[in-house]
Structure 1
């Protein structure tokens, strides 16, 4: 599958070169700009995904009666096992 994607992207870049009338192989500055774009794009994808799919923490307000019973320490007899 990777080969097909690579072939498609290469075809798209070749088409773009033809539309922009860039020599092939590209002059060094154009080639370096393209390589820089690939590196930046490779590192930008995880950053963009993290921004769009970041999970926000939600805070729930507990019922006051449940909160007061949860704060009471357990009695020793409640933790003992029968014997």
Structure 2
């Protein structure tokens, strides 16, 4: 979570500096964000194609490695399964 907050803080700081010196952002925000998303997705095309050519599993790779690269380190990670104790539910162990 901290990298996201630092990134947002840096962006806000740059925005404030731009406003103080009267400079407009180099690209409209939506276009810039779509361009960044395209770059992230484009980086994943080569590894996916290499796996397809090699006959390796692709879907699991996309759900784990690609998801983590595009969406962040916690993407594609399943929540840990917690085993419940039968005694917790009022049953006898």
TM-score band by shorter chain is 0.3 to 0.5
- How does the TM-score come out when normalised to structure 2? 0.36
- How does the TM-score come out when normalised to structure 1? 0.39
Q: Which has the larger radius of gyration?
A: 1
Q: Which has the higher contact order (CA 8 A, sep 6+)?
A: 2
